Amino acid sequence: MTTNVAVVGLGYVGIPVAVKLASSGTNVIGIDIDETKVSKLNSSEYPLRGKEPDIQGMLESVISNDSFRATSDFTSASDADFWMICVQTPLFHGSVEPNLGTLKKALGEIGKNLKKNSTVVIESTIPPGTTEKVAIPLLQEISGMTAGKDFGVGHCPERVMPGKLLHNLSNYDRVLGAINSETGSIMHDIYSRITKGELRITNIRTAEVVKTFENTYRDAEIAIANDFAKYCDSVGVDFFEVREHVNRVESRNLHLPGGGVGGHCIPKDTWLLAHGSKGVYDPSFLTMARQVNDSMPEYVFNLCYGALRKASIKLDESKITILGLSYLEESDDVRNSPSAVLYEKLISEGADVRVHDHYADDHPNVEHTTNLESSLAGSDILIVMVAHEKYREMNLSTVKSVMRNPIVIDARNVFSKQILMEEGFQFSIIGRGSSF
């Protein structure tokens, strides 16, 4: 019996899962409100930026054999046996409150088109408790049916990583949170068409906590590295040397300090976790780690301010170059970019700031150039915020020759301290102290 699957939300999560499932011989219909994205997909054009190996070829084949098509109309999926919700679950702008508006809209549309004995699975990362307190009531109210009896509900949190979307999807283990054992086996059948990884069935709340813990844990690991780097800077010890020794202990894995933590998931998932435990658990330890990471652009700003003052350069008379706008090296994704936070702080203090990035997508508030030479010309201070390979390869004597003052703030330990000294730069490197 063929299973008809509907994937709601065609982004970094939805497109790979829709295409991969369709290539397994399952009939898949993708639903998105963005008509441009829908028509691009139907003409076999991968609509997202970034290099994703194999996805273009897989998309072409599932479109040509008609096992996948995209639409913006939910009624086209009214015969779906299995729904996967892959919409974004951001925070409200400038707040730590989860914005579940897109999720609720999708649930409402699914409720109107829900077929008896079908299954609805949420892949988006959600505050623990959301499936039971928000999704199930909404689906029941709109469909008039009873979850667990007339239709199944589950949560299978996504584990995507831009740049490795199909790889992760096809190999990672997945946790299947299901409302009952019948739904668990239906989910197991579908997900075994997608991944070679292990599929473990559990309850929905556990699956919600698994995903929010996964990213909160990583956020806290990074926060420890950042805080230790600040410690080393204050006592004149090289964090990276310490890290090498500590990580020799096999159960230790000190992460890397940097100019901040960006991206579409790590910065928000701690708040989703905290939201899910409101009133019953004190999340201050976790949110303190989050605040350490959020403080890093300010830490870079203070290093910059201190360096300019040492060189008797007024901040509001300085020319500053920021290298890197993406949230991660070799990525075009600028969501929650720490560089954007630093940029806005410098601009607000009257500095003349130019931002370079040869990868980054357009950012809503920050203009950037892809011309490295012009971004450096006449600069008093160069701040490296992203460890793009291109920056590692720069010839520092050439860089110095075009700058007005030879000052470097290295937030990603990109440059060799030795060469910076030999070339006569004044510098601060997060975790490796300052030359002045």
Catalytic residues: 211, 265
- 239: Cα separation from own chain's centroid: 26
As a whole number of Å, the CA-based R_g of the chain is 24
Query: Quick check: 388 binds ligand SAJ (CB under 6 A)?
Result: no
Candidates 106-114, 261-269, 315-323, 343-351; binding stretch for ligand SAJ (CB under 6 A):
261-269
Query: Quick check: 175 binds ligand SAJ (CB under 6 A)?
Result: no
Q: Which of 255, 392, 400, 417 binds ligand SAJ (CB under 6 A)?
A: 255
Query: Quick check: 342 binds ligand SAJ (CB under 6 A)?
Result: no
Query: Quick check: 161 binds ligand SAJ (CB under 6 A)?
Result: yes
Sign of CA dihedral 152, 105, 115, 188: negative
**Min CB(173)–ligand SAJ separation in Å:** 12
- The answer to whether the beta carbons of residues 171 and 196 sit under 8 Å apart is yes
Candidates 48-56, 103-111, 251-259, 417-425; binding stretch for ligand SAJ (CB under 6 A):
251-259
- The answer to whether the beta carbons of residues 30 and 41 sit under 8 Å apart is yes
Q: Considering beta carbons, is residue 154 or 260 the nearer one to ligand SAJ?
A: 260
Q: Which of 127, 184, 263, 297 binds ligand SAJ (CB under 6 A)?
A: 263
Q: Considering beta carbons, is residue 100 or 296 the nearer one to ligand SAJ?
A: 296
Residue type, 128: P
Question: φ and ψ at 60, to 5 degrees?
Answer: -55, -45
Selection from 61, 11, 59, 19 nearest residue 37 by Cα: 11
Provide DSSP, 308-332.
HHHTT--GGG-EEEEE--SSSTT--
Q: Considering beta carbons, is residue 47 or 50 the nearer one to ligand SAJ?
A: 50
Selection from 359, 362, 403, 363 nearest residue 383 by Cα: 403
Selection from 293, 292, 266, 258 nearest residue 383 by Cα: 258
Q: Which of 11, 154, 184, 258 binds ligand SAJ (CB under 6 A)?
A: 258
**Min CB(159)–ligand SAJ separation in Å:** 4
Estimate the crossing angle of helix 101-112 against helix 136-143, to 10 degrees.
Answer: 30
**Min CB(291)–ligand SAJ separation in Å:** 15
- The answer to whether the beta carbons of residues 168 and 159 sit under 8 Å apart is yes
Give the Cα separation of 360 and 314 in Å (integer): 30
Q: Considering beta carbons, is residue 268 or 345 the nearer one to ligand SAJ?
A: 268
Candidates 68-76, 88-96, 239-247, 250-258; binding stretch for ligand SAJ (CB under 6 A):
250-258
Question: φ and ψ at 66, to 5 degrees?
Answer: 60, 25
Query: Quick check: 262 binds ligand SAJ (CB under 6 A)?
Result: yes
CB within 8 Å of 245: residues ≥ 6 apart: none
Give the Cα separation of 83 and 107 in Å (integer): 10
Query: Quick check: 265 binds ligand SAJ (CB under 6 A)?
Result: yes
Query: Quick check: 266 binds ligand SAJ (CB under 6 A)?
Result: yes
- According to DSSP, residue 129 is labeled T
**Min CB(273)–ligand SAJ separation in Å:** 13
Q: Considering beta carbons, is residue 147 or 360 the nearer one to ligand SAJ?
A: 360
- According to DSSP, residue 432 is labeled T
List Cα–Cα distances, 182 to 103, 149, 197, 210, 388, in angstroms.
Answer: 24, 10, 21, 21, 48
Q: Which of 159, 243, 354, 432 binds ligand SAJ (CB under 6 A)?
A: 159
Q: Considering beta carbons, is residue 340 or 396 the nearer one to ligand SAJ?
A: 340
Candidates 98-106, 194-202, 252-260, 341-349; binding stretch for ligand SAJ (CB under 6 A):
252-260
**Min CB(161)–ligand SAJ separation in Å:** 4
Chain residues binding ligand SAJ by CB under 6 A are 158-161, 214-215, 218, 222, 225, 255-256, 258, 261-263, 265-266, 327-328
